[in-house]
Structure 1
Amino acid sequence: MADSTNGSSSFWTQANALFRKNLTFQRRNIRTNLRLILFPLVLCLLLVLLQTIVNIELDKPSNKCGCTCIDQNGDGQCERVCGIQYSDLDQVATCSIPSPPEWPPLLQVPDSQFRAVRTDFLSFGDLPNDSCRSTGSCPITVLMTGNNQSLGESLARNIFPISSNFNSSNGLANVVLGSASETQIFNFLEPAFFSSLPLYHVQSQCRANSTFSISIPLASTIMEKEIICVQGQHSWRNSSTDINNELYAGYRKGNSEEKINEILAGYDLLNSNANNYNVTIWFNSTYKNDTGNGPIGTVRVPRSINLVSNAFLQLLRGPSTQMLFDFIKETPKPETEIRLDFSSLLGPLFFTWVILQLFPIVLTALVYEKQQNLRIMMKMHGLGDGPYWMISYAYFLAISLVYMFCFVAFGSVVGLKFFTLNAYSIQFVFYVIYINLQISLAFLVAALFSNVKTAAVVGYITVFATGLLGGFFFQFFLQDTSFPRAWIVVMELYPGFSLYAGLYEFSQYAFTGNYMGTDGMRWSDLSDSNNEMSHVLIIMIVEWVVVFFLAYYIDQVVTAGSGARKSPLFFLEKFKKKPFSSFRKPSLQRQGSKVYVQLEKPDVAQERERVEQLVVDQDRSHDIVCDNLKKVYPGRDGNPEKIAVRGLSLALSTGECFGMLGPNGAGKTSFINMMIGLVKPSSGTAYVRGLDIRSDMDGIYANMGVCPQHDLLWETLTGREHLLFYGRLKNLKGAALTQAVEESLRSVNLFNGGVADKQSGKYSGGMKRRLSVAISLIGDPKVVYMDEPSTGLDPASRNNLWNVVKRAKQNRAIILTTHSMEEAEHLCDRLGIFVDGSLQCVGNPKELKGRYGGSYVFTMTTSSNHEADVENLVKGLSPDAKKIYEISGTQKFELPKEAIKIADVFRAVENAKSRFDVQAWGLADTTLEDVFIKVAREAQPFDVLS
């Protein structure tokens, strides 16, 4: 393997490596990206198609203006006649109206059950009792105030006429008419004359049988309408505050939507006198059916102004003086086409789904790295948290920006008003802020999941649920001007509702601009009190910052996505002064309520003494020094605590390969996890090239290689691309990087036949294993951990891999775990057998076999009726022989080496063959496997209560 150039890689070197890897990964997924980008394009085209179909239908003559067939000459032949007189209220918007009809001016009269009466929550007693509502005889009320009460009282007496003369030459100008019907945004057709509600004429006093009918000419037709008299009264209030309280405190009772105590109008005469006329008028704007932007005349306010003005003139010039208010009419208009902008009508819902679909994509990518342990793998090969967060965030931001650019570009090209009318600069700011918030939120939510499928399901459910809740729940609150704005802000704290609110504002401005022929949203519109966009932008910016830092904090403290969890105050650790000493002796701690006692073998005790001396002398000649390393997992669900590693002490020098042997559950994985930084030790510590695993893992990662038990690879990256990425993390550059990658591929037999440039997802299990070994050795790491590296390899590949490891151990320390005794004997300079968290023995293979294998294994197979003869033969060779196996005539015995000679065994077997049939026999020396089994069986840990 090639040597590293300059030690640990810099921040920008790591960032460059991750950026190149992500770029390659993105290039591999070009088809997926195209499908992603095509989604908003298809949706925009669908909206255009839907809008075109509807516009074609609206362009049909039968849908443009009211038309009918009329026999005008009486000859039985009808002619098709179109015009306003044959239209309903909905069609008036499209009709050509060169001469709009004249309508009598009306007051917005409260309906009989809503007129103001005396109540228990208003202090004014000059209103009628509520019993009048049952008979429909409640009068309508006008409230008045001002600086001059006598003037006000005089004016009030002249506001409503004493009687109405329907035969006057002035027509209806002398009649004060009113209606409780809702208004429209235009006055081409007065809804009062088309409503089922009656018309009222207001007088100071109504006589009996004061019901009349009038005829209203409308083009070529005459409309008949019944008119009912209603009494008008006035009430004086001492201040405008009193009027204000009475108008608004009595309008709605509690949370009830029932309208009560409606006042016709309120007049504040201010400083009016005989020489000065100055008045302010209150009116009920809830009848203004035009989203707040229509002309004030549609609320039937002009008649109120005319009444008080006439009263003032009559006070000055006599009762015969008045300003006649003959009619009101709209301005002429040509025939107009209805063009429904579906992108604005459906945009908030559809475009919420379009933008939110990026959320599960980012979320699943992050969870995938966590589920496959790829984040940990990168960290163990030297990638720091800073470069990872910067490049990953920038990577997702770039993808999101390209996606949003295509989204806006497609919508603009196909002509959707949602995009073309609203200022692109506002759209850019809004989308950029939101996608930053969305990416930060994905980092935060990723901490809650460890499975990609679960994260994907929850992510897409969130997408569709947010759109539906926004369209069928949140939007009603946005449209209700009476709903408290503070609660709107609270709901917008959920990022999905913030997105919906912003899109809703864009849609409203685009729809109005398209309908009225004006521009959509501009920066100046953000100062409008009815515009939510400014609030939305502020909320998203604040949430973006808060969520980002919260996500980073949780990643470091709560989740194990970046290895061992850090202290909750980890950001303060850089201010702590660390001693200069490389080795720092940890304080010994008692674990729980028990003291665990292990009767150590001499070789284990000798290893412990050697480690203690190295720590005391601060000797840095060994690459790995484990000093009384312990790991205790706390008890859960009533179970006692689990001791995984019991005070392990071990020292490895450069060029040494140490083999960890042990049964499943012995604690080998927990030991490796502590050494590579996945978990922190409960007590004790270990030093890797003088760096403490408790506090200096970032430095250790720069000189460490790991071959995990399970292959941690990106399926869409090739073997060469994997090695290039990890080589860059190890600070390899240029020609040195290329040479190191080629040497690594050749060493593990992945160079020829195009295998190096084949995606790892198409590798066999053995090829993946060889690639994992090559990754662990790239960049000349000084310490390497290999967890069962030859698992799944064929004999030829396994032998080749052993040669690679033997060459690699010459200038580094290697810790290797395996269940293959042949592999351990072939590769390892020393072995340690690990049982129940404790090291039972340490030594090279020959020493262990000599120490624990001082016997021969004698095997003989005969018929079952000669088993006793075989036992007698063995007892004759050695009285201390021990039977260790017996089944169907095959028996195995352990024979002490010092008690027998091999020649005696051969003579005894030849003599036995003459007495009975010997089917097979054998004499073997003790193997490493026998030593392993023997040590594992003899190891019986126990504990003593303290």
Structure 2
Amino acid sequence: MPLQLDMECVQGLPMWCASSSVIDRRLFNGYKRANKRRRSNEFLAGYDFLDTSKGLFHVYVSYNSSFSRDNGHHSMTVLRVARLVNMASTAYLKQVLSGVNAEMRLEFLKEMPKAAIKMKLDLTTLLDALFFTWTVQLLLPVILTYLVYEKQQNLRLMMKMHGLKDGPYWLISYSYFLSLSGAYVTFFAVFGSLIGLDIFRLNSYVIQFLFFFIYINLQIVLAFLLASFFSSVKTASVISYIYVFGSGLLGEALLKLFIEDTTFPRPWLVIMELVPGFSLYRGVYELSEYAAAGSYMGKPGMQWGDLNDPINGMKDVLILTSIEWILLLLVAYFLDHRPAWHPIFLFGILSTKHSSPSYRANPRSRRVFADMAKDDVFLEQKVVKRLLKEMDTRNMIICHNLKKVYRGNNRNPDKLAVRGLSLALHKGQCFGMLGPNGAGKSSFINMMIGLVAPTCGTAYIHGMDLRKDMNEIYASIGVCPQHDLLWETLTGREHLLFYGRMKNLSGAALVKAVEESLKSVNLFHCGFGDKSVSKYSGGMKRRLSVAIALIGNPKVVYMDEPSTGLDTISRNDLWNIIKRAKKECTIILTTHSMEEAEELCDRLGIFVSGNFQCLGTPKELKTRYGGTRVLTITTAAEHEEVVARLIAELSPSAVKVY
């Protein structure tokens, strides 16, 4: 059959190269660009005449099978070999035998029959850049959920209340995650090298170490940054896994196409690599490409000199991830220490719904508060003023005009949690605060342990100012919060060892203190101290929280309803522990039980609506206010005067409390 084919002749240009390495480089670059542009190779062949002279014809012919459509060795490729050899031999004869019409022709090549060989499973071809990207990024959900778990369970607040500052917390957590990530990636690289993966075996180990070291640091910083936006472990886990698998799939389906497209603008490619998952994919992609080329040509993969190759994107990735690592570290640390400037807060500023003005600027408020300050409360204020004037604050707790106002949102009125509280306590005293829920007891405790800042006033703990010396105060206080803040995976002994170290106990003194603490709260027997907290009952967790508050002999101990959830026997044992502890420290506790207050407290304060209604010893208060009854009536503001007149008619001697 006659065939009609369109033929096009292209002039081949000879190009002199100084060495064989230059020839190999040009052929490889031409092959790479040809594959990206989906067209034939830019370079036909390369000839290295080696030590050829007039008496010796020694040539090395390099050709690229990509010139054929199937990129393989078939009949057309075999014919090309003969033609390339003939071209070299003809050129040699013309140069040596000048003017003589001589030729040396190689007619054809024929492959010899060969036995069938078993297929070798090459894991490098099966495990592409997507697999390695997913494997490295799987550490992100682990780190993020750990950080959010501490935040969700208020464990970081608990550590802060026992003296752990923000700087050491960041340093310890960062070092732990860096060690974990480093061990993970090192094992991954060593195992891949042992089983013969070219991406690890052929590329420079120094480049691999630098790339993975920078990225795992960036990944840790990214986890710290994301942790400030989540308060639920489940939500953080789901979002992080979506990011890991989503960024990997987008890298394989989208970023890879842009990398191989030489017409795609390079600045846009760099902008896309600002996403840490994309920068990881680009780095792994470059390592795999150089490993594949090195395996094909029998040479090493990526080396330091290859970073200057304009086609190679590893240099951009290293620079970009290093800068991003430093910047995100600063941003994450800033957000962690300045919650008021959190982006969510900034968005709230732009909202049309603003909080209500200060309670001082709202004289028309319809809420009426009666002034029920008693003589003992006034006397306490005078004592505080005298002590402050004499500057006698050693071995004492002095609260001076402490106030806490929670600003109302969405036009709601402000909440006055604590109104001008003044109190003076000596060493060895146990002070109890009684009052209904919402009276402001927990707000007072939170101000004293530094969780919230007072709106007005201050307090002095053994001469240290609450507003200025909180870091020093943390080293001398113990806290038993209202809700147990414990790690479910740690044992009771491990909790006490950890908090004992934070109180500067070590060695034999630490072991002894832990043993005594476990015995004092009845967790030493039956091996309860060595069981994980997840297996503890509610009462056992409560006793452990009390033991944590008392370990290390703190100077001041705050207990927010310590006997909640305890049976009668455990409660009595706990009371005995507190009685022994108050000999060496000052204890402030809140409770709803008058029985507990009489048993433990040297002084009591009835706290209602953010204010003390009375102060004194349990015996004094019972003598002064015994035999009375409290009548609580809830009514609308416009009916308040009517109700007051009704009560006055029924009982003229009734006193309005609030």
Contact 1:359 1:442 (8 Å CA) reproduced: yes
1:460 paired residue among 236, 241, 260: 241
Q: 1:442 aligns to what?
A: 223
**CA distance in structure 2 between the partners assigned to 1:846 and 1:371 by the alignment:** 42
Q: 2:585 aligns to what?
A: 812
Cα distance, 1:529–1:333 mapped onto 2, change above 3 Å: farther
Cα distance, 1:638–1:761 mapped onto 2, change above 3 Å: same
Contact 1:347 1:418 (8 Å CA) reproduced: no
Q: Does residue 1:822 correspond to 2:595, yes or no?
A: yes
Contact 1:341 1:417 (8 Å CA) reproduced: no
Q: 1:729 aligns to what?
A: 502
Contact 1:344 1:418 (8 Å CA) reproduced: no
Query: Residue 593 of structure 1 aligns to which amino acid in structure 2?
Result: A
Q: Does residue 1:939 correspond to 2:657, yes or no?
A: yes
**Residue-by-residue CA offset, 1:161-185 (whole Å, 9 max, x unaligned):** xxxxxxxxxxxxxxxxxxxxxxxxx
Q: How does 1:223-372 map to 2 (within 5 A)?
A: 225-227=3-5, 289-291=34-36, 296-297=43-44, 341-344=122-125, 346-372=127-153
DSSP-derived class of the 1:635 partner: coil
**Residue-by-residue CA offset, 1:125-157 (whole Å, 9 max, x unaligned):** xxxxxxxxxxxxxxxxxxxxxxxxxxxxxxxxx
Cα distance, 1:475–1:287 mapped onto 2, change above 3 Å: closer
What is the TM-score normalised by the length of structure 1?
0.54
**CA distance in structure 2 between the partners assigned to 1:699 and 1:531 by the alignment:** 53
Cα distance, 1:845–1:474 mapped onto 2, change above 3 Å: same
**CA distance in structure 2 between the partners assigned to 1:850 and 1:722 by the alignment:** 44
CA-CA distance at 1:543 after TM superposition: 1.2
Bigger Cα Rg = 1
Query: Residue 607 of structure 1 aligns to which amino acid in structure 2?
Result: E
**CA distance in structure 2 between the partners assigned to 1:680 and 1:511 by the alignment:** 61
Q: 1:496 aligns to what?
A: 277
Q: Does residue 1:850 correspond to 2:629, yes or no?
A: no
- Identity within the alignment, %: 58
CA-CA distance at 1:594 after TM superposition: 3.7
Contact 1:622 1:651 (8 Å CA) reproduced: no
Q: Does residue 1:757 correspond to 2:530, yes or no?
A: yes
Contact 2:543 2:574 (8 Å CA) reproduced: yes
Contact 1:344 1:508 (8 Å CA) reproduced: no
CA-CA distance at 1:697 after TM superposition: 0.9
CA-CA distance at 1:514 after TM superposition: 2.6
Contact 2:394 2:463 (8 Å CA) reproduced: no
Alignment gaps of 5+ in structure 1: 1-222, 233-263, 268-284, 301-322, 562-588, 858-881, 885-895, 897-933, 941-946
Q: 1:638 aligns to what?
A: 411
Q: 2:180 aligns to what?
A: 399
**CA distance in structure 1 between the partners assigned to 2:7 and 2:264 by the alignment:** 36
1:738 paired residue among 511, 514, 527: 511
Q: How does 1:456-535 map to 2 (within 5 A)?
A: 456-535=237-316
Q: 1:665 aligns to what?
A: 438
CA-CA distance at 1:424 after TM superposition: 2.1
Q: 1:593 aligns to what?
A: 361
**Residue-by-residue CA offset, 1:856-900 (whole Å, 9 max, x unaligned):** 99xxxxxxxxxxxxxxxxxxxxxxxx999xxxxxxxxxxx9xxxx
CA-CA distance at 1:409 after TM superposition: 2.2
DSSP-derived class of the 1:842 partner: strand
Contact 2:425 2:586 (8 Å CA) reproduced: yes
Cα distance, 1:342–1:331 mapped onto 2, change above 3 Å: farther
DSSP-derived class of the 1:296 partner: coil
Size of the alignment, in residue pairs?
A: 551
| RMSD, matched Cα | 3.6
DSSP-derived class of the 1:811 partner: coil
Contact 2:358 2:407 (8 Å CA) reproduced: no
DSSP-derived class of the 1:289 partner: helix
**CA distance in structure 1 between the partners assigned to 2:182 and 2:160 by the alignment:** 28
**Residue-by-residue CA offset, 1:458-514 (whole Å, 9 max, x unaligned):** 111111111111111111111111111111111111111110000101111122223
Contact 2:34 2:42 (8 Å CA) reproduced: no
DSSP-derived class of the 2:614 partner: strand
Contact 2:141 2:240 (8 Å CA) reproduced: yes
Q: How does 1:747-896 map to 2 (within 5 A)?
A: 747-854=520-627
CA-CA distance at 1:413 after TM superposition: 2.4
**Residue-by-residue CA offset, 1:57-113 (whole Å, 9 max, x unaligned):** xxxxxxxxxxxxxxxxxxxxxxxxxxxxxxxxxxxxxxxxxxxxxxxxxxxxxxxxx
**CA distance in structure 2 between the partners assigned to 1:447 and 1:549 by the alignment:** 13
Q: How does 1:904-943 map to 2 (within 5 A)?
A: 938-940=656-658
Alignment gaps of 5+ in structure 2: 14-29, 46-65, 68-100, 343-356, 364-368, 631-648
CA-CA distance at 1:425 after TM superposition: 2.1
**CA distance in structure 2 between the partners assigned to 1:490 and 1:843 by the alignment:** 68
**CA distance in structure 2 between the partners assigned to 1:499 and 1:856 by the alignment:** 72
CA-CA distance at 1:289 after TM superposition: 3.0
CA-CA distance at 1:830 after TM superposition: 1.0
What is the TM-score normalised by the length of structure 2?
0.77
DSSP-derived class of the 2:310 partner: coil
1:609 paired residue among 382, 407, 413: 382
Q: 1:410 aligns to what?
A: 191
Q: 1:106 aligns to what?
A: none
Cα distance, 1:657–1:420 mapped onto 2, change above 3 Å: same
CA-CA distance at 1:266 after TM superposition: 13
Contact 2:427 2:584 (8 Å CA) reproduced: yes
Cα distance, 1:531–1:605 mapped onto 2, change above 3 Å: same
Q: How does 1:89-128 map to 2 (within 5 A)?
A: none
**CA distance in structure 1 between the partners assigned to 2:271 and 2:125 by the alignment:** 25
**Residue-by-residue CA offset, 1:515-555 (whole Å, 9 max, x unaligned):** 33332222221121111111111111111111112211211
Contact 2:432 2:588 (8 Å CA) reproduced: yes
Cα distance, 1:345–1:807 mapped onto 2, change above 3 Å: same
**CA distance in structure 2 between the partners assigned to 1:509 and 1:460 by the alignment:** 29
Cα distance, 1:516–1:331 mapped onto 2, change above 3 Å: farther
Query: Residue 297 of structure 1 aligns to which amino acid in structure 2?
Result: L
**CA distance in structure 1 between the partners assigned to 2:409 and 2:308 by the alignment:** 58
**Residue-by-residue CA offset, 1:615-658 (whole Å, 9 max, x unaligned):** 22211145211111111111112211111111111111111111
More strand by share: 1
Cα distance, 1:480–1:826 mapped onto 2, change above 3 Å: same
Q: 1:249 aligns to what?
A: none
**Residue-by-residue CA offset, 1:198-247 (whole Å, 9 max, x unaligned):** xxxxxxxxxxxxxxxxxxxxxxxxx95314599x9xxxxxxxxxxxxxxx
**CA distance in structure 1 between the partners assigned to 2:214 and 2:592 by the alignment:** 54
**CA distance in structure 2 between the partners assigned to 1:676 and 1:229 by the alignment:** 88
Query: Residue 377 of structure 2 aligns to which amino acid in structure 1?
Result: V
**CA distance in structure 2 between the partners assigned to 1:431 and 1:385 by the alignment:** 27
Contact 2:359 2:414 (8 Å CA) reproduced: no
